Structure 1
């Protein structure tokens, strides 16, 4: 006759331990996201060779860029114009299609481009090419707060000059902020898997010119 030990209680403890580990991991991830994404390093606006607006060039992001341009931060405004996203409202889709912000101006030059690929990496590649062509040594980039750390990392992989980051704050709700934490975390994973300026994941090739 085989006598079995009290295995049942031990088995029942594993789900509880696993739950504790998962909760602690989730809390740690939230803490890191809060520290990195909600309090990114930005620089005071200073005169640059160009001001780059990372896409999409929504109304708030463009308002920040226009304010900086009116302060004379740069002689050139560069705007990334990716396609509208499936979740955008009809009014926003029309706004992106009209591209009124790309209209020529008399007080400064405006350059609009469609990134290839349609990601921050595509914007970084275009920045590299424009900077090499025009001899830009200092560039200020505008994006939203939670995107600043990842955007800085990706832009610096392609652009070797001085890079300054300016941020606009969308004031996300807690649920919206959590969505950004997930999205930006996934973006960091992708960026770490593609460490070069133009390196792409197999399923997301750069479009042919």
Structure 2
């Protein structure tokens, strides 16, 4: 099932309508086997949960889940990401924290595949976002995995913060995502106030995920 989700996210992420059409045809059949071109074969009692998962994605019924993706230079943005994840957990929603230095784009798509909400964190680098963050947003844009979802932006800066936030906002708008008006940004290292605000943003995302997720 994990591999099926990974394939769907990375190959069919932008084509849920094709899955919906296929499921409509499949509902007329007495299915004994599903033998995919990419992946394992399915039979017997494994078919029902497979079709259920296909249907979930085809109808964009996302889970009550938030995926927080970030890159960090000296740990400041990473600490905020962890605080945000604790805020999400406090609501009872699921949360996935993704350090982009240790995660492939394939895995990024997998984590976003069934998430109702998201967050992107990046420190400022040469007045813009970190390359891994820009790459992750661009990859999700092509697969339409952020379209219609609510997300927040956060990150540290040293001397030029506004361009970073603006660039991230514009990149996410191109994904047709709904970016929260609150952009959490701070100079240099986090302090207790920043961590508290990160936690609060996590609570907001968690509540939104519980509202729209299924």
TM-score range, shorter chain: 0.3 to 0.5
Higher-Rg structure is: 1
Greater RCO (Cα-Cα under 8 Å, separation 6 or more): 2
Structure 2 length normalisation: TM-score?
A: 0.32
Name the structure where strand makes up a greater proportion of residues.
2
